[in-house]
Structure 1
């Protein structure tokens, strides 16, 4: 396996560039925090709900160095790459053989050269406090080191697909496994009107945003959960301040009283 590290400036690095072979990639479930209170002379607790806080990803890998000087140079580069306080995205590159299954002894040699890596369908925005390197031993005249790191998610406690823009005709094609809350993830609904109406009613399933502003053909309306604009001007005072949540295994059907083209900006699938 391999690990792709994408910095926030768009630069991309593979741990294999630093001679690291990833052997383990373990992803935890999102941790849950609950808000509850116990009152005197009352059995049990009053529960005010819960939420996901973060997710942990543990990796293990190995790298070789010809001598102590080369290992020190590799260690410094790995520290610089992984100990970034601004965070970065990581993507697991899974390994699959490029050849069919074969019987023991059918061929010899070159097995690892025939392996190919392919990226996971999700990535994680993470940081790590302190990657650790441990000397394992001397193998065929080279030093073998073990690399371990524990990553924690920084913003959303989920795996994410890269943000994109999609055109929507009827249903939002959400494929995530957890709800995508517009106030947390930040996607924007863009409506470009091709007709007119005295007011606006825009729904995704049962969530409805209404505006008392008249809509004319050509108007561009942006709805992102806390800011609502029409042709660049705020219409917050004219709305019911609703927001949308894309639900897994639901149709996420769009209905609107104004004909027009709908786009979802910064659309992502989120995975537990």
Structure 2
């Protein structure tokens, strides 16, 4: 396996560039926090709901160095790469062997050269407090070190697909496993009308956003959950201030009383 590290400036690095072979990539479920309060002289407590806080990803790998000087150089580069306080995205590169199942000793040599990696369908925005390197021993004259690090998610406690701007018509093609809340994730609905009406009604499943402004052909509406504009001008006072949540395993059906083209800006699938 391998690990792809994408910095926020777009630069990309593979741990294999630093002679690291990843042997373990384990992600936890999103941790849950609840808000409850106990009142005097009342049995039990009042529960105000819960939410996901973060997700933990544990990564283990090994690297070799010809001598202590090379190991020190590799260690410094790994520290610089992983100990970034601004965070970065990580993607697991899974190993796909092209060799058939064999009995031990049936063939010899070149096994790792026959392996290829393919990326996971999701990535994580993470940081790590302190990657650890541990000397395992001397193997055939080279130093073998074990790398272990615990990553924690930043912002959303989920795996994410890269954001994309997509055109939609009757349904939003959401494939995530957890709800994608417009206020948390930040996607924007763009509606460009081709007809006219005295007011606007826009729905995704059971959530309806309304505007009392008149609509003309060619108007461009932008709905982000907290900002609502028509042709670049705010119409917050003219709306019911609704926001949308894309639900897993539901049609996320779109309905609008005015014909037009619809785009989702910053669309992502989110995975628990």
Could you say which residue in structure 1 is the equivalent of 2:150?
150
User: Where does residue 164 of structure 1 map in the other structure?
Assistant: 164
1:5-62 deviation digits (Å, cap 9, x = unpaired): 0000000000000000000001000000000000001000100000000000000000
> How much does 1:108 deviate?
2.5
Q: How far, CA to CA, are the matches of 1:20 and 1:63 in structure 2?
A: 5
1:248 aligned counterpart, secondary structure: coil
Following TM superposition, by how much is the alpha carbon of 1:103 offset from its aligned partner in structure 2, in angstroms? 5.0
* Match in the other structure for 1:84: 84
Per mean C-alpha deviation after superposition, the further-off stretch among 104-113 and 77-86 is 104-113
Aligned pairs for 1:123-138 (under 5 A) are: 123-138=123-138
SS of structure 2 residue aligned to 1:127: strand
CA distance in 2, matches of 1:175, 1:60: 29
How far apart are the structure 2 equivalents of 1:80 and 1:51?
A: 33
Instruction: Quote the Cα distance in structure 2 between the aligned partners of 1:18 and 1:257.
Output: 56
2:58 partner SS: strand
Correspondence 1:59 to 2:59: yes
**Cα gap change, 1:67 to 1:87, in 2 (>3 Å):** same
Residues 92-101 or 32-41, more deviating: 92-101
- The equivalent residue for 2:119 is 119
Change (3 A) 1:143 1:28: same
**Residue of structure 1 equivalent to 2:21:** 21
Q: For residues 125-182 of structure 1, what are the alpha-carbon distances to aligned partners after superposition, in whole Å with 9 as ceiling and x for unaligned?
A: 0000000000111000000000000000010000000000111010100000000000
Q: CA RMSD in A?
A: 0.8
User: Structure 1: where are the runs of 5+ without partners?
Assistant: none
Partner-residue secondary structure (3-state), 2:237: helix
SS in 2 for 1:166: strand
Consecutive unaligned residues in structure 2, runs of 5 or more: none
State the distance in 1 between where 2:202 and 2:107 align: 62
Secondary structure of 2:175's aligned partner: coil
User: Matches of residues 168-187 of structure 1 in structure 2 within 5 Å?
Assistant: 168-187=168-187
SS at match of 1:17: helix
Q: For residues 142 and 104 of structure 1, do their structure 2 counterparts lie closer, same or farther at Cα, with a shift above 3 Å needed?
A: closer
TM-score normalised to the size of structure 1?
Answer: 0.99
Structure 1 Cα separation of the partners of residues 231 and 67 of structure 2: 64
Deviation sequence 1:199-252 (CA, Å, 0-9, x none): 000000000000001111111100000000011000000000000000000000
Higher deviation after alignment, 24-33 or 103-112: 103-112
Corresponding residue number in structure 2 for 1:42? 42
Give the aligned partner of residue 10 of structure 1: 10
State the secondary structure of the residue aligned to 1:192: strand
- In structure 2, the partner of 1:263 is 263
Give, in whole Å, the separation in 1 of the partners of 2:46 and 2:28: 28
Report the count of equivalent residues: 272
